[in-house]
Amino acid sequence: MVLNFFDQFMSPTHLGIPLIVLALSLPWVLFPTPSARWVNNRLLTLQGWFINRFTQQLLLPLNVGGHKWALLFTSLMVFLIMLNLLGLLPYTFTPTTQLSLNMGFAVPLWLATVIIGMRNQPTAALGHLLPEGTPILLIPVLIIIETISLFIRPLALGVRLTANLTAGHLLIQLIATAAFVLTPMMPTVAILTTAVLFLLTLLEVAVAMIQAYVFVLLLSLYLQENV
């Protein structure tokens, strides 16, 4: 049996229609909606507490002008968490393993922070390209380096999220395949491999949430430089 471990990252299609749209819309259906009752249930209370705590921590270093992004950042992080966690279920597709999708999130938001900085405080925004006290001979080189690092930021955001999730899914599939193959030959080793697979799955659940948080946190740091 020949297996291609990268087949799981191909966007599924049905009758020529890409199902990535369904995968992107499913998390919004699973979110609990607020009720008209005076007292919410435990799930809604936990969801509200989590969103409030995250918003407070995210906006703590930002000034009042950056608080307008609270709804966007919170919605993006919850959406990415749901996509990453749903991708860990069997026979599911993880859209965030696609670099094109992650770049579609990263580039417009990063570009919006840069445009805001150029519009509101162009001197300070351009001042980031040249550290204070730079020798005259190094000024052209440092401007080029800082400009390149500025344009690499959205690429780093997209690649970081894609690489971490892709590596985790590959490890899970490799260890699961090893446990399946070793079961008839060496049951003891297969049991140990299954235990490692269980621990790795728990780790991937944590990675799925952490990577979504890091993605939004870095965007907030880029915004902090420009507001």
Decide if 30 is inside a domain.
yes
A 10 A CB-CB count for 161 gives 24
Separation of alpha carbons 70 and 220, rounded Å:
9
What pLDDT is recorded for position 3? 54
Which tens digits make up the pLDDT trace of 39-93? 677 777 887 888 888 888 887 877 777 788 888 888 898 899 988 988 888 888 8
* pTM (two decimals): 0.83
* Domain coverage including residue 52: 7-226
User: DSSP 3-state assignment of 211?
Assistant: helix
- According to the model, what pLDDT value does residue 155 have? 93
Q: Does residue 152 form part of some domain? A: yes
Which of the four pLDDT bands, split at 50, 70 and 90, describes residue 173?
confident
Burial of residue 105, with CB atoms counted within 10 A of its CB: 0-12 exposed, 13-18 middle, 19 or more buried: buried
d(CA 62, CA 21): 34
> Strand ranges (DSSP E) for the chain?
13-14, 17-18
At 63 the pLDDT is: 77
The secondary structure of 64-126, three-state, reads HHHHHHHHHHHHHHHHHHHHHHHCCCCCCCCHHHCHHHHHHHHHHHHHHHHHHHHHHCHHHHH
The two tokens of residue 86 are 């749903």
Residue 32 located in a structural domain: yes
- Considering the domain boundaries, does residue 1 fall inside one? no
Count of domains observed in the chain: 1
In a domain, 2, yes or no: no
Residue 54 lies in a domain: yes
The C-alpha atoms of residue 94 and residue 155 are separated, in whole angstroms, by 19
Decide if 101 is inside a domain: yes
Q: Give the pLDDT confidence of 4-38 residue by residue, as tens digits.
A: 666 666 777 777 777 777 778 877 777 777 667 77
Tens-digit pLDDT profile for residues 119-164 = 888 887 777 777 777 788 888 888 888 889 889 999 999 999 999 9
Task: Check whether 103 has a pLDDT greater than 90.
Answer: yes
